[in-house]
C-alpha cells in the first residue's frame, strides 16, 4: 500500500499521541515572569527549545500542504523540492507532497547555489520549499529558478522573492485530498551523496518506501512504546527510513538539532529515548567526552535506551568494543544500504550477532545479496567482489540517466559499487568503494582495511586512506590522520604501529590533518584527493 496510508492509520488510531518532537539545545525557550505590575521576558538557560505535534496534527498539516499544492496547480507526477533543516515542518511537508501524487525531492542542506540549481533542473522540480538557513543561497539563483517554479518559504521573515508557507497553509483545508495512489506510483527522488562526482537523481516508488518501513520494523522490533532519536538530516534516506520504523509502529520520534555529546545524552534522558542511531564520529565524541571526564553518566536517566546502531559507513570494531565497556546493556546493530536501495537494511548485522562486529551482516528482511567478479559471476567465499542486492526497495532508475541506470541495474540486481567479501558463516564484510580501491604495484589495496587497523591506535580519532600518484608504483597509500584531543603522536609512531600490516598495505605517507565528512558521516575522499593530489574528480569529469 502507499506509505501515506500509514500516516492516516496513525492519525485515526493514535490521534492524541505525540508523533514528533523537535529539540534545539542551541536555542533557549522564553519564560515569562510576572513581577509586581510588570511582565518580564527572558531566556531560560535550563530549558532548550522544544516543539511537538500529535499524529492527528501531523496528518492535518500534511493535508493542508497537499491541498495548497493542488490549489496552485500541482498534479500527479509533478516534483516538489524540500530544502529544510530538520524541523517539525519537514515530515508533514514530505507527506503532503506524496498525498497529491507528486514526488518529494529532498535536497542536501550543504548544496551551494549552483548545486541547488543543478538538482532542481535535473529532477525537473516544479515547487521549492525552503527555510531561513537557505535565504542567501536561494536568493542568488532566485531570478533563474523562479521563472518556472513556485517558491514557498518556511519560517519568520519571508523574503520578497518567495511566498510564506505558514500563511498559505493556514487557509487550506485539513481533510485528505483523496488522491488515489498505488504501490507502483512514483513517490520520491533522492540524490546520491556526490562522493564520486555529480549527484545522480534516484527515483523510488511507494512500494520502495513501504518496504523500507517494513524492513526497519522487522530489524529493530519497534513497538508503540519506543522512542526514536533522529539526529542525521532527513533529506538523506538513512535518517528517513530509520524513522519509518516509528511511522510503522505509531511511536514517538525526536528530531534533535545538534550533535554535541551532552545534547545527545540530555535528549535521551529527557525524552526517554529507546533507540538512537549514531554516526561513527558522534559515537566517538561521546566516548571521548566520557573519558575526559566532561560527562558524568550518573547525571542522566538512560535506563530506557535499549539499542544503539550505526550505519552510513564502515564501523571500526574497536569503537564497538569501547562502547560496550561503557554501555554493557545496550544492544548493538548496524545496517548497510544506499540511496539506490532506499537507505539502510538491504544488508543487516542483527542484534544477536555482535560477535561478528566488523561485518555488515547478511541479506536484510526481504532482500537478496550476492558478490560478483568483473564478469558478473558469483565469487567464492573469502574472495573480494562487487556487492549486489535485489529486493522491493531497489530504485526504479536514475532519473533521466539511462546510461547510468543500465550500468547499475542488471536483471533486477543493483550493482552497488562497493567491494565486499563473505566469510565462512555467510557474513558480509565491506572492503571498500570500487572507485576508492588503490592499485599499487599491481596489488589491490582496500583503504577501509587500513583505516580500521589505524583506528585501533590509542591516539587516533579518525583516519582516511587515499591513493596518491607515484611514478614507480602507479599509486601509493596515504593515511590522513586526525588525532584525539591532547594526544601526542608522530609519523614514526604510526609507521612502527603499521609494522603489523603486510608490507604492501602499509601507508607510504602519513599526514596529520582533519578528516572532512559529509552530513551522513561518509569521508569526503574526493575532497581529500583534491587537496593532496591537486585536482578534483569533478574537474577531471568536466575535462574528459
State pLDDT tens for residues 83-121. Answer: 999 999 999 999 999 999 999 999 988 888 988 999 999
DSSP letters, 108-141, are: -TT--HHHHHHHHHHTT-SEEEE-GGGHHHHHHH
Nine-digit cell string for 15: 490521534
Phi, psi of 422, deg, nearest 5 = -110, 135
Model confidence band, residue 55 (pLDDT cutoffs 50, 70, 90): very high
d(CA 126, CA 77): 10
The structural domains of the chain, with segments of one domain joined by +, span 58-205, 437-543
Class of domain 58-205: alpha beta
**Which CATH number is associated with domain 437-543?**
3.30.300.30
- In this structure, the number of other CB atoms found within 10 A of the CB of residue 287 comes to 18
Report the pLDDT value the prediction gives residue 25, as an integer from 0 to 100.
Answer: 86
| The length of the chain, given as a count of residues | 544
> Can you tell me the distance from the alpha carbon of 89 to that of 376, in angstroms, rounded to the nearest whole number?
44
Report pLDDT digits (tens) over 205-245: 999 999 999 999 999 999 999 999 999 899 988 888 899 99
For 451-478, write each residue's pLDDT tens digit. 888 988 989 999 999 988 887 677 899 9
Q: Chain-wide mean pLDDT for the chain?
A: 89
Are 320 and 357 spatial neighbours (Cβ–Cβ below 8 Å)?
A: yes
Tens digit of each residue's pLDDT (9 = 90 or more) over 355-414: 998 899 999 999 999 999 989 999 999 998 999 999 999 999 999 999 999 999 999 999
Is pLDDT of 133 > 80? Answer: yes
Task: Please list, in sequence order, all residues whose beta carbon lies within 8 angstroms of the beta carbon of residue 355, skipping any fewer than 6 positions away.
Answer: none
Residue 187, pLDDT above cutoff 90:
yes
User: Does residue 543 have a pLDDT over 70?
Assistant: no
Side-chain-side CA neighbours of 524 within 13 Å: the count stands at: 18
The pTM assigned to this predicted structure is 0.82
Residue 263 pLDDT > 70: yes
What per-residue confidence (pLDDT) applies to 438?
85
Kindly report, residue by residue over 504-533, the tens digit of the pLDDT: 789 999 999 999 887 666 788 878 888 888
Amino acid at each position: 500500500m502507499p506509505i501515506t496510508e500509514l500516516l492516516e492509520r496513525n492519525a485515526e488510531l493514535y490521534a492524541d499521541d505525540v508523533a514528533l518532537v523537535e529539540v534545539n539545545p542551541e536555542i533557549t525557550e522564553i519564560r515569562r515572569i510576572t513581577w509586581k505590575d510588570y511582565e518580564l521576558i527572558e531566556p531560560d538557560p535550563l530549558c532548550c527549545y522544544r516543539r511537538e505535534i500529535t499524529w492527528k496534527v501531523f496528518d492535518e498539516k500534511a493535508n493542508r500542504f497537499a491541498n495548497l499544492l493542488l490549489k496552485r496547480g500541482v498534479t500527479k507526477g509533478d516534483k516538489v523540492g524540500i530544502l529544510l533543516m530538520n524541523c517539525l515542518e519537514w515530515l508533514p511537508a514530505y507527506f503532503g507532497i506524496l498525498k497529491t501524487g507528486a514526488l518529494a525531492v529532498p535536497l542536501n542542506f550543504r548544496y551551494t547555489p549552483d548545486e541547488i540549481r543543478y538538482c532542481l533542473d535535473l529532477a525537473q522540480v516544479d515547487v521549492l520549499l525552503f527555510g531561513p538557513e537557505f535565504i542567501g543561497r536561494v536568493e542568488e539563483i532566485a531570478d533563474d529558478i523562479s521563472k518556472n517554479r513556485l517558491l514557498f518559504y518556511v519560517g519568520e521573515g519571508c523574503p520578497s522573492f518567495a511566498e510564506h508557507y505558514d500563511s498559505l497553509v493556514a487557509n487550506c483545508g485539513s481533510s485528505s485530498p483523496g488522491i488515489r495512489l498505488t504501490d507502483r506510483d512514483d513517490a520520491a527522488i533522492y540524490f546520491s551523496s556526490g562522493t564520486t562526482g555529480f549527484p545522480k537523481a534516484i527515483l523510488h516508488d511507494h512500494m520502495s518506501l513501504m518496504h523500507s518501513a517494513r524492513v526497519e520494523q522487522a530489524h529493530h522490533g519497534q513497538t508503540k512504546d519506543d522512542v526514536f532519536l533522529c539526529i542525521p538530516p532527513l533529506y538523506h534516506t538513512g535518517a528517513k527510513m530509520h524513522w519509518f520504523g516509528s511511522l510503522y509502529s505509531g511511536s514517538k520520534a525526536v528530531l534533535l538539532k545538534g550533535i554535541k555529546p551532552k545534547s545527545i545524552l540530555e535528549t535521551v534522558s529527557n525524552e526517554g529515548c529507546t533507540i538512537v542511531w549514531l554516526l561513527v564520529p558522534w559515537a566517538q565524541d561521546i566516548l571521548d567526552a566520557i573519558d575526559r571526564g566532561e560527562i558524568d553518566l550518573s547525571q542522566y536517566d538512560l535506563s530506557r535506551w535499549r539499542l544503539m546502531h550505526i550505519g552510513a559507513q564502515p564501523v571500526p570494531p574497536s569503537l564497538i568494543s569501547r562502547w560496550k565497556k561503557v554501555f554493557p546493556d545496550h544492544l548493538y546493530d548496524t545496517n548497510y544500504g544506499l540511496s539506490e536501495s532506499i537507505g539502510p537494511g538491504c544488508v543487516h548485522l542483527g542484534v544477536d550477532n555482535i560477535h561478528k562486529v566488523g561485518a555488515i551482516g547478511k541479506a536484510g528482511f526481504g532482500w537478496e545479496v550476492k558478490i560478483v567478479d568483473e564478469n558478473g559471476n558469483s565469487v567464492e567465499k573469502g574472495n573480494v567482489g562487487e556487492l549486489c542486492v535485489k529486493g522491493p526497495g531497489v530504485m526504479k532508475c536514475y532519473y533521466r540517466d539511462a546510461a547510468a541506470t543500465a550500468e547499475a541495474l542488471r536483471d533486477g540486481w543493483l550493482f552497488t559499487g562497493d567491494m565486499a567479501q563473505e566469510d565462512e558463516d555467510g557474513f558480509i564484510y565491506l572492503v571498500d568503494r570500487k572507485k576508492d580501491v588503490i592499485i599499487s604495484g599491481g596489488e589491490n589495496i582496500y583503504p577501509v582495511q587500513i583505516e580500521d587497523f589505524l583506528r585501533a591506535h590509542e591516539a587516533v580519532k579518525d583516519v582516511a586512506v587515499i591513493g596518491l600518484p607515484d611514478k614507480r608504483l602507479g599509486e601509493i597509500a596515504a593515511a590522513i590522520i586526525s588525532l584525539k584531543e591532547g594526544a601526542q603522536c608522530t609519523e614514526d609512531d604510526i609507521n612502527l604501529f603499521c609494522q603489523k600490516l603486510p608490507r604492501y598495505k602499509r601507508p607510504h605517507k602519513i599526514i596529520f590533518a582533519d578528516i572532512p565528512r559529509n552530513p551522513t558521516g561518509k569521508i569526503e575522499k574526493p575532497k581529500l584527493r583534491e587537496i593532496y593530489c591537486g585536482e578534483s574528480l569533478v574537474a577531471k569529469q568536466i575535462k574528459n
